[in-house]
């Protein structure tokens, strides 16, 4: 499943970049002449992609923690307790976990 998640995280990162860049462009246009996103089809496509990919991950019980670094969590079990299995885009496999009430800083090796 990590290969599929990696592809989706890459699309999320790119769509997010387009949305942010377009927002800056719109902000500048509004300041200059009251313009908006109407002439920016890339914005709408990126927003659709972003939404679809994030919704898909949620449906698969993958929690997106940081779209920029590609950090995600999956519910799992370690020594009989529920934990977050923690993975970041670029890591070869899921090798870390953290307790449900801690975050990335509490990551421990499996």
Per-residue model confidence as pLDDT tens digits over 76-108 = 999 999 999 999 999 999 999 999 999 899 999
Enumerate long-range contacts of 97-102, CB under 8 Å, 24 or more apart.
98/73
Predicted local distance difference test score (pLDDT) of residue 31: 55
What's the pTM? 0.82
* Length of the chain in terms of residues written: 110
Q: Report the domain count for the chain.
A: 1
**Beta bridge mates, 84:** 75, 98
Residue matched to tokens 């709408």:
44
pLDDT tens-digit profile of 55-80?
Answer: 999 999 999 999 999 999 999 999 99
Quickly state the pLDDT bin for 40 (edges 50, 70, 90).
confident
At residue 38, does pLDDT exceed 70?
no
d(CA 69, CA 30): 31
Widest CA span in the chain:
61
Domain range spanning residue 102?
A: 2-109
């Amino acid at each position: 499943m990590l290969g599929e998640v990696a592809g989706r995280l890459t699309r999320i990162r790119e769509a997010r970049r387009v949305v942010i860049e377009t927002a800056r462009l719109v902000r500048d246009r509004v300041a200059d002449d009251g313009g908006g996103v109407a002439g920016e089809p890339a914005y709408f496509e990126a927003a659709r992609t972003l939404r679809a990919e994030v919704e898909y991950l949620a449906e698969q019980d993958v929690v997106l923690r940081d779209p920029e670094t590609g950090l995600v969590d999956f519910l799992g079990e370690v020594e009989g307790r529920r934990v977050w299995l923690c993975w970041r885009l670029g890591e070869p496999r899921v090798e870390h976990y953290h307790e449900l009430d801690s975050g990335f800083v509490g990551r421990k090796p499996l």
